[in-house]
Amino acid sequence: MKSFIVVALAALCAAPAAALDLTNVAFVQTATGNTSIPVGHAEFCNSRPAECQANANPVLAVTLDDARWSQLLEINAYYNDTIVAVSDNDLYGVEEFWTYPNGYGDCEDFVLAKRRALIEAGWPASALLMSVVREPNGDGHAVLIVRTDRGDLVLDNQDGLIRVWNETPYQFVKRQDQAHAGRWVDMIDNRTMAVATTASH
């Protein structure tokens, strides 16, 4: 399975990079202005304010070379393989509690762990965006969007593959603002009907 994932995704790195166009369908569009912050992230920021500051000189998208691609695959697989998915209710007795996992965690905790590991590896925080999505059954879910020159890539604890956002089954709701880690923006997902239609079959 691991070799299949590498082969299936290698095309992203092998394809020649075009001039960056953030209006391309490979990038999720966002609405103007900020939106509400998820309660779990607001509480996380209250306890860790240093991790929710403005990003000085934000990088719009990371150039996805072979080394970064390998690093992305390695970090995504490591946390998907080593963290056991457990709900916040079962772990902490509350509906939402965003924190770094200690062997166990909810979807948001996977995202936090991957984001921190990538930042420690030298990736710009402004290109690593915690995101809220909706599953085809209506449930909320969190994923990490990695904004690269090849598009917005999704790291998901429910899927071993790293996919471009528009190749996932989710409706994209909102994500962190690239300019400020403690602020969020709404995402514009015009595939809503297509996702709903696919889910009904």
Q: What is the DSSP string of 99-149?
A: ---SSEE-HHHHHHHHHHHHHHTT--GGGEEEEEEE-TTS-EEEEEEEEET
Domain count, the chain: 1
Average pLDDT over the chain reads 89
Per residue in 9-24, pLDDT tens? 444 444 444 568 888 8
Q: How many Å apart are CA 60 and CA 69, to the nearest integer?
A: 17
> Is 107 a member of any domain?
no
Q: What is the mean pLDDT of residues 23-27?
A: 92
Q: Which two tokens stand for residue 116?
A: 């921190």
Note whether 60 and 20 are within 8 A (CB): yes
Give this prediction's pTM. Answer: 0.87
| pLDDT for the residue 19 | 64
In a domain, 131, yes or no: yes
117 inside domain? no
Residue 47 lies in domain: 2-64+124-199
Report the distance separating Cα 114 and Cα 97, nearest Å.
17
Classify residue 85: in a domain, yes or no: no
pLDDT tens digit string along 160-197?
Answer: 999 999 999 999 999 999 999 999 999 999 875 444 43
In this prediction, residue 7 carries a pLDDT of 38
Using the predicted structure, report yes or no on whether residue 41 has a pLDDT greater than 60. Answer: yes
End-to-end CA distance of the chain: 27
Domain assignment of residue 83, yes or no: no
174 within domain boundaries: yes
Q: Which two structure tokens, joined as six digits, stand for 159? A: 């899927």
Position 136 in a domain: yes
d(CA 21, CA 41): 30
Q: What is the mean pLDDT of residues 137-163?
A: 97
103 and 111 Cβ atoms separated by less than 8 Å: no
Asked if residue 103 is part of any domain, the answer here is: no
Whole-angstrom distance, CA of residue 169 vs CA of residue 98: 24
Region 19-42: what's the mean pLDDT? 93
- Residues 6+ away with beta carbon under 8 Å from 133: 140, 141, 142, 143, 168, 170, 171, 172, 173
Residue 200 pLDDT: 35
